[in-house]
Structure 1
Amino acid sequence: MASQILFESVNLKIRYKESPNKELIVVSFASYDKNQTKDKSGFGERLFEKYNTSAIFVTCSNNDWYQYEEIFDAITAINKVTCAYHEIVNYGSSMGGYASILFSKLTKADRVIAISPQFSINPESAPYEKQWSHIGSKLHYVLDPATKGASGSITIIFDPRTIDGIHAERINNEYAVHMVPFAYSGHPSSFTLLETGVLRDLIVDLIGGETDIIRHLKRYKQNRLGSWRYLYALGKSGVTLDRKIYFLRLASVRAPDNLNVQLALGETLLKAGHYVQSAEAFGKACNVTSEFAWPYYRKAIAFMKDRRLLDAHRAIMKAIEISPQQSSYLWIAGEVSRDLGLPEAASYLERSLELDPSSSFRWYNLSLYYKKCGDLDKAEQAARKSRKNVTNTDRNGISARVD
């Protein structure tokens, strides 16, 4: 199907793809994308092409939750097309799910299908929302929260065990919606539903007005252990460390190249005291990408716990090569170098405290190191700084006195 541009600005592009069927049209809002561009394909575009469904695709240049002054002109252009159809369905996921609810009254939507939407990302309206607060705190809101523009029959697909559950409840408290929970489907739920073979048929049914979703829930239950995202979510929320490790291992097998899975497994193994296996998991995370220092830093910690100091030294040096001004990395380099008897230990410890001089505990440990080296003047200076910077979290019965 050829597309027609209905509206375009610096921030927005609205495209229309027409099918012969004039019964129903979908207005689809693009979701968050770290490489956001208004020139990308629309959300669900291939699905609607496959089912010969007319659709209007709203894409944007930035992840601003559609808080643009020109959004109202854009919707006017949308309405000039949708008025020829018998039914209008808004559709979107996460940021796009929020928009599909927010603008449902303006688009005159009969139905809304919102996957993992937010009630709001404005810290004043949703202080519990931390993932997007760095964006929400900077926006100039033209319309918010989502329920302010809600209309029609709204279905929310979400994971009730994540922050999305709070958003869904907030929306439902202000505007009655049809709640469709998929436990451990994560954010957004669409990826896990796609992996379990549920997403396509579920969305097609909901767009068509079907409200019985029992068969989709059954299919999800049957197929969910085949989804690494489901296993990852299950592992992250496990009650016991053994349960966390079990499911994160399964997720790791199914997604060996996923950075978040390997990091989560490494952290959980580290917490459980399985240092060798933790270092292996962090090593896999390092293999996924060599651009980030964090996996090397955590691998160094695991090696230190296992007293594999040479391996720890190699890992932390790599972390510092990538991120040379990180105080925590420099401190670990100093501790490893100290334990190896390397002369550069003091330099790393001092540089760490130059970048972050607020830690009483680190000043205290530096004073002990100076004392061991026989430099009592520097030991006393470090001890004084330790006492000066002491906080409730640093105390724990530690005295910074040098005898």
Structure 2
Amino acid sequence: MSDLFRSDNVVVRSVPASDLSRWVVTFDNYGIGHGFDRPGFGEEFLRNAGISAIHVMGVREDWYQYPEMPAAMQAVRQATAGAERVMTYGSSMGGYAALRFADAAGANAVLAISPQYSIDPKKAPFEKRWLQDSQRIRWLPGIDGRIVCQVRPVVVFDPSKEDGLQIALIQRDIDIVPIRLHHVSHPATTYLGEVGLLKGLVLQTLSGELEADTFALKARRLRRTSGVYVSNLALNQPEHRRELALSLARRSVEVSPGSPLASMALAKLLSRAGRHDEAVEQFERIMDATNRDPNYLVPYTEVLFAGGRHPEALAHAREAVEAMPHLAHLHAWESALLWAGSENTAAVAALERAIALDPHRKRYRKLMRTYRREIRLHAIIRAKSVARRWIVRLARALSRTRTSSAALDQDADRGRGEA
């Protein structure tokens, strides 16, 4: 293992195997970790498979918008010179890079799973999943411009929602080998790993032996054995098919009893049906199994809140935010929960943290204006209520005074009569 290139932003790490005729160049997915003291994407799998690998690692989730990327790719190209097969490979953010740096890396194969065309709001205004990053990143035209790729990439994706729109943008620039897998969500890597197809996909794409239609057919035939697929199918059912959705969710847990994703789908659907105690029980098991993973704390908190268990929910919300304090949307989410729980001062403070982290988000500032307006309105209502109470008290006091005065006058009259 050695570093072929290193800067403050990028490390290119070589992990050669005995076979130097085939190389896989990987790119990090979102959330793999910050810094460089960590394994690269797919490192263990490729090492165990005896495949030489080069791992391109970004310092954080910047979608590789670094001016030194051409130099980093030149180092890759030099290290793999003379190899028979060079494949770029990545998932999600890594898939974005696998497409965009394939030519620079000298690749003759590309595997991109659930990639983005771009998350720049100007190019993909529908993309809301990484808004804080998309507004923070300085998008470089030489990297995030039109895609140019000499080879025909294999692209695996769920065509629904944002991923389908992203692939449509990719197809405007280049021709791809599309493998569409409905209801596997983002990224499709999770589904492929669960049904045992990921390793074969990587190896066959690298060798050039992949038959996309045959692979896609096999992947679809295995859907019913996947907790990921069945749980997503359950969550995507319309409201009038609530019982079917619950039935599918229970089926997903039976198919993958150890899958927190399947259990989470069932818990969410139980909560939607008003069966909050059952939903909480499901989530408590998930929390134990995942060591309180923050990604599951968020929906757990929402289930608690929906069930009217506000103090517990707010405590879990704080735990989730403290686990991922750099995410502005979590602070905004906590703020909304606090406001709904009538903790207005804390809600304003949480929203101020969100704005500090993501000052470009207009939605946060609009919400803050709503908060301020509501607080002023409540203050006016409280002031009027206090004034009304004082008026009532004063009227009562005056009434008592008049009554006492009248009684005294009557006593005086009686006294004069007796005299």
Alignment of 1:377 onto 2:388: yes
Return the letter of the residue paired with 1:237: N
| Whole-Å separation in 2 of the counterparts to 1:353 and 1:189 | 38
Return the letter of the residue paired with 2:34: Q
CA contact (8 A) 1:99 1:146 kept: no
CA contact (8 A) 1:330 1:349 kept: yes
Return the letter of the residue paired with 1:90: T
- In structure 2, the residue matched to 1:226 is 225
Q: What's the CA shift string for 1:195-242, capped at 9, x where partnerless?
A: 101111121111110241344334433433333222232222123322
More helix by share: 2
- In structure 1, the residue matched to 2:171 is 172
- In structure 1, the residue matched to 2:209 is 210
| Whole-Å separation in 2 of the counterparts to 1:379 and 1:197 | 74
- In structure 1, the residue matched to 2:307 is 302
Deviation (angstroms), 1:22:
4.3
| Whole-Å separation in 2 of the counterparts to 1:43 and 1:316 | 35
| Whole-Å separation in 2 of the counterparts to 1:189 and 1:379 | 65
- In structure 1, the residue matched to 2:405 is none
| Whole-Å separation in 2 of the counterparts to 1:293 and 1:214 | 38
Distance 1:26 1:266, change over 3 A: closer
Length-normalised TM-score, structure 2: 0.71
- In structure 1, the residue matched to 2:270 is 269
CA contact (8 A) 2:148 2:174 kept: no
Gaps of 5+ in 2: 322-330, 350-367, 392-419
Q: What's the CA shift string for 1:381-400, capped at 9, x where partnerless?
A: xxxxxxxxxxxxxxxxxxxx
Return the letter of the residue paired with 1:41: P
* Paired positions, count: 351
1:245-394 correspondence runs (5 A): 245-252=246-253, 254=256, 258=260, 264-281=265-282, 283-284=284-285, 289=292, 292=297, 295-296=300-301, 298-303=303-308, 312=309, 315=312, 318=315, 328-330=336-338, 333=341, 356-359=371-374, 377=388
Return the letter of the residue paired with 1:295: Y
Q: Answer with 242-251 or 315-324: which moved more.
A: 315-324
| Whole-Å separation in 1 of the counterparts to 2:26 and 2:272 | 43
Length-normalised TM-score, structure 1: 0.73
Gaps of 5+ in 1: 304-311, 335-347, 381-403
Alignment of 1:105 onto 2:103: yes
| Whole-Å separation in 2 of the counterparts to 1:350 and 1:51 | 56
Q: What's the CA shift string for 1:111-146, capped at 9, x where partnerless?
A: 111111100011111111111232122212233437
Deviation (angstroms), 1:153:
2.0
Distance 1:316 1:19, change over 3 A: closer
Return the letter of the residue paired with 2:12: I
Return the letter of the residue paired with 2:173: E
2:237 match: secondary structure: coil
Deviation (angstroms), 1:59:
1.4
Return the letter of the residue paired with 1:377: R
- In structure 2, the residue matched to 1:125 is 123
| Whole-Å separation in 2 of the counterparts to 1:5 and 1:237 | 45
Deviation (angstroms), 1:370:
11
CA contact (8 A) 1:285 1:295 kept: no
- In structure 1, the residue matched to 2:149 is 150
Over aligned residue pairs, what C-alpha RMSD do you find? 3.8
2:61 match: secondary structure: coil
Q: Answer with 81-90 or 276-285: which moved more.
A: 276-285
Partner of residue 137 from structure 1, selected from 114, 135, 138? 135
Q: Answer with 270-279 or 11-20: which moved more.
A: 270-279
Q: What's the CA shift string for 1:362-388, capped at 9, x where partnerless?
A: 959x97x999xx9673899xxxxxxxx
2:12 match: secondary structure: strand
2:39 match: secondary structure: coil
Distance 1:207 1:279, change over 3 A: same
| Whole-Å separation in 1 of the counterparts to 2:244 and 2:104 | 47
Q: What's the CA shift string for 1:280-311, capped at 9, x where partnerless?
A: 445556666397576346324324xxxxxxxx
1:84 match: secondary structure: coil
Alignment of 1:50 onto 2:67: no
